[in-house]
A and B are shown apart, each in its own frame.
Chain A
Amino acid sequence: MKKLKLIPFLALAVATTLTACGGGKERPRDGGFLSIVAYNGGYGDEWLEAIAQEFTNQTGTRVEFETDSLILEKIDEQLTGVSNYDIYMSHGLNWQNYASRGLLANLDDLYDTVVDESTGQKFVDRFSNGAPELSRYKNENGEEHYYKVNWTQGAGGLVYNSSMFEKYGWEVPTTYDQLVTLCSKIVSDTNGTIKPFVWAGGPNSRDYYWDYVIYEWWAELEGVENFNKWMTFQSDDGTYSKSYENFNPDGRGANFKKAFKMWHDLIAKNPQYSNSEPYGTSLSSAQTDFYLEKAAMIPYGQWAKREIQQMLKADFTFDVKFMRTPRVSAESDYYNFMVGFGDSILIPENSPSKDLAKQFILFLQTEWACKKFVELSEGPFLAFDYSSFDMSDLAAKDKYIASMIEILGDSVNISNATNSPLVIANGDTDVCCWINNTRYYNDAMLDPVAYSVDRVMNDVYNAAKGSWARFCNAAMVS
């Protein structure tokens, strides 16, 4: 008798399974509309909503969009199976890998499209800082094509409370030495109640925001050309098997070491300049400290303002600006690390609406869309050239955006985006530039004597030496 009672349950269970699976993989998606996904980071989704809406108004094309912070985990399955999206926008996309597997749409025709009839300017000319060169890659047949569009350019470094600076009469530092002086002034002016810096090395650690500052100093010491050469991860003869020597603190890694030493001298050796126990501080409490004006500066990327407000669900009650990172030498240019420069816009080969997707990207490069992105993401820039746009209205409206416009406009912009096979195969966090993603900010902060500059840089060098063969094997280079 008992088993008879089980039958309806079984039937129900089987039916549920079938319905649950029915909506799944195998049915191809209909074309005729656009489906976009963007990384759910500090940019929010208002910009996407506004641009999608305007695109629909102008072309009549329906656009669906969502933001997601787990794109990276899902994209492989999407590209190889049935993709739910026609456009992906995210950081950290392993696009070279997808391109060489034939999973991405060829964008040569997009780059060749004339975007301005009057001047004959093509899409390929709409970028600054050499982005298109980094967007080409070999496909499975060894032919080189464009497979991605750079998504953003941005800034990395120090964000500061400019109202507080004005209130106390602190000058914005332009050199490293001035920054050092400023820190001691902040502590003495406020009896230590306000810390120069707050940063999070604890839960949801963002200690790597210091990388941005260090890269900028390093690039200045190294010079742009050498810095870019360094980022190819090759030896001088173009080989890889011994290029761990780039990390040699007494050789080609000397400037990396110098830049780290500047950080070490200022931050690690002066615990009074940071919030207490930054190695145990969570991201949210660091943001809260900055919001509550317990610190004057916070290392961050261009998304700082938007993200902090979004996380704390409160708007800043004071002016926030991005600082031009103080230079090593007063004679030098300002250097800016474009944090988002490796970020990508991709169209999957299996999208049924590739042409619509290209149309949308062409729409993205228009002045209206470019400015809308800055306005609604509150600071970050798309990767397109903004130099011909009049940004004064946005600058007048928002001091943070104004500071971003200044930085991107007059700095030497650098990035660590690269098509080096070593980085592609092993991931930038393992190769560039803290080997195996072992960062030392927390350790040095906790014990600057044990984790001296020499020791840290030797550790990095030895780690590089030890792991290099594995990196080369994975990248199949020698």
Chain B
Amino acid sequence: MSISTFFKQKVKAKKNAIRQSDYERKNDLLYKRHRGEKVLFVFMFIIFLFFAITYIYPFIWVFYNSFKTRINYAQDYIGLPTSWTFDNFLEAFTYSSSETHYFNIFQMLGMSVLICSLGTLVTVFVSSCAAYVVAKYEFPGRNVIFSVVIFSMIIPIVGSLPSQIQLMKNLGLDGTIIGIIFLYSGGFGMNFMLLYSFFKNLSWTYVEAAKIDGASDFKIFFSIILPMAKGPIIAISVITLIGQWNDYMTPMIYLPNMPTIAVGLRLLADQMQQEGNYVLLFSTITLAIIPIILMFCFFSKTIMENTSVGGLKG
């Protein structure tokens, strides 16, 4: 499927959804409003519109200013470019310095892709293993594990970072990609809780059948359980991926020599601001957020539905 058809379908679906919700609103008893309410809703709509503009306009401003020349921007920083130039983007593609460890924006994006894909893969897999076993098997210490995990999630631990840094140094894991993946690879977190409740409610009949056929526990887990859990696994993968993609602290502390895009953007921005080259900065911001916006477009429903579920378990 080409991208344009994808978007056409998306737009079409969107239109239909709007039409449908319009219809629902007009004909659904729940959403019938009388006069006073209508005024209230119009008032709130205006407020909402104002908020929406504050979220969208700054990025539109950044976007069109990234097509200006430096002089054009200096003369007029509000209006549209007098002539659209791609030079800033061309420069942003290759811009690097010792501050960014000679990583250009593509290499930073590459680092992000590498770390986030591996990090997500490992943590989701580890969480699935842990959640499945704790949810479905009775073994000594099971309740202990579960209580400790819950306990660890509700205690607001403050300031464990210095200790963590010391530990990572002593393990020789700081400054390595493996180290970051290791940090991300915890199995008992929000993902655990989400998958735990999923497995808990999972029907056991397929497993029964497989067991009668003599399938091993491993086989059951890999060929029956994981495919059944595809939905929640994809959902938490997407959320984890976005979380790791935007994570600033971990890679900044533990991988300063190989900046990911979240860290590298700051390094690039510092340099460009110092040079006063705002148009270059804007094109860099644009390039840096395009992947995440695209991802959001593709998965917005998954992300939004599952963030809310995930958060509730804290």
Contacts and interface: CB of A to CB of B under 8 A. Distances in A.
A associates with B:
yes
Interface of A: 2-3, 10, 13, 16-17, 20-21, 24-26, 40, 66-70, 73-74, 77, 80-81, 203-204, 282-285, 287-288, 311
A13 B276 CA distance: 39
Interface in B238-288: 256-258, 267, 273-277
Contacts of A73: 256
The 4 A-B residue pairs with the shortest CB-CB distance, nearest first, are A284-B276, A68-B98, A204-B274, A21-B176
Contacts, number: 66
A259 B117 CA distance: 58
Nearest to A68: B98
B119 to A, nearest CB: 10
15 contacts: A3-B222, A17-B177, A20-B177, A21-B178, A25-B175, A25-B176, A40-B98, A68-B98, A69-B98, A77-B175, A204-B274, A282-B276, A284-B274, A311-B274, A311-B275
B174 A203 contact: no
A301 to B, nearest CB: 15
Contact of A17 (B169, B174, B181, B256): B181
A311 B276 contact: yes
Given A25-B175, A25-B176, A67 B276 contact: no
A288 B276 CA distance: 10
Interface string B164-183: 00000100101111100100
B99 A69 contact: yes
B275 A68 contact: no
A17 B182 CA distance: 12
A287 B276 CA distance: 10
B145 interface: no
B118 interface: yes
Interface in B277-311: 277
A13 B172 CA distance: 21
B99 A283 contact: no
Given A68-B98, A74-B256, A13 B273 contact: no
A283 B276 contact: yes
A16 B113 CA distance: 11
Contacts of B258: 20
Contacts of B223: 3
A204 B278 CA distance: 13
Nearest to B181: A17
A284 B274 CA distance: 6
B227 interface: yes
B130 interface: no
Nearest to B267: A70
